[in-house]
Structure 1
Amino acid sequence: MTFTRLSVIFNSFAGAGHLVLLLFAWVSHDLRVWAAVLWAMALISIVSWIATYRRARLIRDTPTARIASAGQGFTELVGMGEAHPGGDLAAGPMWIPPSLWYRYHVRCEDSNGRSRGRSSRTSDDTFLLRDDSGVCVIDPDHAEVVTTHKRTRREGDCVYEIEYLRPGDTLYALGEFVTVRAGDTPLDPNADTAALLREWKGQSETMKRFDTNGDGKIDEAEWAAARHQARAEVAKQHMTHRLAPGVHMLRVPTHGRLFLLSNIDPDHLAQRFLYWSWFHLALFLVSAVAAPVLTGRLLLAG
């Protein structure tokens, strides 16, 4: 597991996790538990501080590129989110609003308030990001998504928590930019020429064009002419294929680098991460001082 994935888990857990740990220590009335909790909080806080501060710096320090002129590799884009032509949106349950991307959690309780099941799902359908220079396909698989669109609904004993990105949102995207070109696909002229000749053989009208002497048969010279024309046709098709424009895509980077999608203005998003980094740093300093002090007292008392 990469550090980025680990830091996301720690950061997601940190807010509520600290409260749960403190509550557990409080009800235990045991100084040894308090010491263990403080050490755990120090670890969680330092990892969360690194993760949030790193995000704030990446957002502030990475220049925004235009899709048409973006370099290959780690890139920041800003544009409007759109569905693919034809209006295809992320496929999901009927109770999810029309979305480019969604994530939901469902928790159900019995009549006594005890949990009787949890489920969750995150969409991985691609969608488009458009700026004034071009269009880029966004593959949201493994993305860290921060969105302002959230809904909570109750149905019977189940609570549905939904986060989503809507068509028309102005999106901030940070990830690996790649351009997939048709010319990058290896081509085999000999195999394609043979396939074209087999296709022509099944077309009587096409074969008549090569029967230059009109005897109803294709002799060796006429077949050589057919092969020559097929090779020329394949070469023309290959040239058209190589000159076809590439498809721009933003996807999860390699080597564990950050992949972030959000409908929040990047300046505000960076400031939000910075505030959280200060919180985690302060919590780390407090717990990092208290944990060894309490541990030392326990050792001396023992």
Structure 2
Amino acid sequence: MNVSSWLVTLNGDEITLYLIAASAMMLACLGLVFYYLRRARLIEDMPTSRIRSAAQGYVELIGTVSRSEMAEMVAPLSGIPCVWFDYKVQRYRRAGKSGHWHTITQGTSKQCFQIDDGTGTCSVNPQGAEVITEHSRTWHGDSEMPRYRVRNNNPILRVLRGHRYRYIEKFIYIHDVVYALGHFQSSGGGRQIPSHHELMGAVIREWKQNYQQLLQRFDSNNKGEIDLQEWEQVRQAASKEAEIRHRRLSNMPTTYTLSNTTNKRHPFIISTHSQRKLSEKFRCYAVVSLITSLFSGYFLIILADKL
């Protein structure tokens, strides 16, 4: 049955429903066109920062995943060593003559990993990120958790063995080159250290929480309270302690982190694809969305003529 013959069989209410659906599809796809084009332009126009000299805020980094002091991570389904994983277990369910894959469990790792660009090492917190990786694995089995951590993509064997479960995993490996857009922040190395006055006030507040110990240390006349002269001694001691803490904070090494953004116009993206390939991918998505929108518009015109 061709489209014209199918349209003849529709009544007015059915045509109206298809009109609404086609309109929604056309508008949604048009929105996706601009969405993907904005992503592509952002990736193309954003200058790449170096970790050691990157400004605070939204930046673009490119670095190689390096080993960290954290325990080695393995993907839960395949047992493959990695620094990031996303997994999904699906079960095939039949509904009449057709069937579909239904997700029964899924998860994503939240552990930070490190990237190095030659100028410094940055800790990447993947929570909330849109991760686009070229590393993935799909295989099938007959139980909710895979018994064998190997690929089995032969459709004939799947039918014969009754493999009703599908396992999907995505990874980022050690030594992968990662492209990332996110919120960059550095701490330590003399940055964001409270002033001497603020540190001194913090020391005095800490000492006041244990007032009996404060009396034992500074109540020289044993009156059970600290007079004005003794309070001056407290302030002098707190000033010396504040200087010690300031030196300790100043000597802390600089640490760099990349994490999720608070601005919705600034996406948090982590990808193993190169900057150029990632931009091309988003432009291809925009073209596909535009074509789908045009087809929906054409279908919308045909339906409108039938009313």
Q: How far 1:164 moved relative to its partner?
A: 1.3
Letter in 1 for 2:88: H
Cα deviation digits, residues 133-185 of structure 1 (max 9, x gap): 11111111111111011011223132111111111110000112122347536
Match of 2:241 in 1: 233
Identity rate, percent: 27
Instruction: Indicate whether 1:100 and 2:83 are aligned.
Output: yes
Q: CA 1:265 to 1:115, structure 2 compared with 1: closer, same or farther past 3 Å?
A: closer
Name the amino acid aligned to 2:203: D
| RMSD (Å), alpha carbons | 3.7
1:248 is aligned to 2:259? no
Could you tell me which residue of structure 1 aligns to residue 180 of structure 2?
A: 173
CA–CA distance in 1 between the matches of 2:34 and 2:120? 34
> Match for 2:114: what amino acid?
L
Report the CA distance shift for 1:261/1:297 in structure 2 as closer, same or farther (over 3 A).
same
8 Å Cα contact 1:35/1:294 also seen in 2: no
Cα distance in 1 between the residues matched to 2:180 and 2:55: 15
Q: Aligned pair 1:88/2:82, yes or no? A: no
> Structure 1 residues 252 and 224, CA, compared in 2 at 3 Å: closer, same or farther?
closer
What is the distance in 1 between the residues matched to 2:89 and 2:259? 27
Which residue does 1:268 correspond to in 2? 277
Equivalent residues of 2:75, 2:81 under 8 A apart: no
Seen in structure 2, the aligned counterparts of structure 1 residues 34 and 224 have a Cα distance that, compared at 3 Å, is closer
Normalised by the size of structure 1, how large is the TM-score?
Answer: 0.71
Paired letter, 1:158: Y
Q: Which residue of 1 aligns with 2:147?
A: none
1:105-184 equivalent positions in 2, closer than 5 A: 105-109=88-92, 118-156=104-142, 157-181=164-188, 183-184=191-192
Structure 2: which 5+ residue stretches go unaligned? 1-5, 143-163, 219-226
Q: Equivalents in 2 of 1:87, 1:244: separation in Å?
A: 20
- In structure 2, the CA distance between the partners of 1:35 and 1:225, relative to structure 1 (3 Å rule), is closer
Call closer, same or farther: CA 1:230–1:40 in 2, change over 3 Å.
Answer: closer
Contact 2:186/2:257 (8 A) holds in 1: yes
- Residue 107 of structure 2 aligns to which amino acid in structure 1? R
1:72-87 matches, cutoff 5 A: 72-83=56-67, 85-87=68-70
What does the per-residue CA deviation read over 1:180-199, in whole Å, with 9 as the maximum and x for residues that have no partner? Answer: 3475365542442575797x
CA distance, structure 2, for counterparts of residue 67 and residue 116 of structure 1:
42
Q: What's the secondary structure of 1:95's corresponding residue? A: coil
Alignment-mate amino acid for residue 33 of structure 2: W
1:115/1:282 CA distance change after superposition, 3 Å: closer
Instruction: Say whether the 8 Å CA contact 1:96–1:162 is kept in structure 2.
Output: no
Q: How does 1:60-75 map to 2 (within 5 A)?
A: 60-75=44-59
More helix as a share of residues: 1
Code of the aligned partner of 1:176: H
2:153 aligned residue: none
Amino acid at match of 1:51: Y
1:175–1:222 CA distance, 2 compared to 1 (3 A): closer
Give the secondary structure class of the aligned counterpart of 1:41: helix
Gaps of 5+ in 1: 1-25, 211-219
Conservation of the 8 A alpha-carbon contact between 2:200 and 2:241:
no
Question: Could you say if the C-alpha distance between residues 91 and 241 of structure 1 is closer, same or farther in structure 2, counting changes exceeding 3 Å?
Answer: farther
Kindly indicate whether residue 268 of structure 2 is the aligned counterpart of residue 259 of structure 1.
yes
Matched residues in 2 for 1:94 and 1:189: separation?
53
TM-score normalized by structure 2?
A: 0.70
Contact 1:146 1:263 survives alignment (8 Å): yes
Equivalent position SS for 1:184: coil
2:181 is aligned with what amino acid? Answer: L
> Does the CA contact (< 8 Å) of 1:193 and 1:234 recur in 2?
no
- Separation in structure 1 between the aligned mates of residue 18 and residue 244 of structure 2, nearest angstrom: 75
Amino acid across the alignment from 1:240 = R
Report SS of the residue matched to 2:262. coil
Greater CA drift, 225-234 or 135-144? 225-234
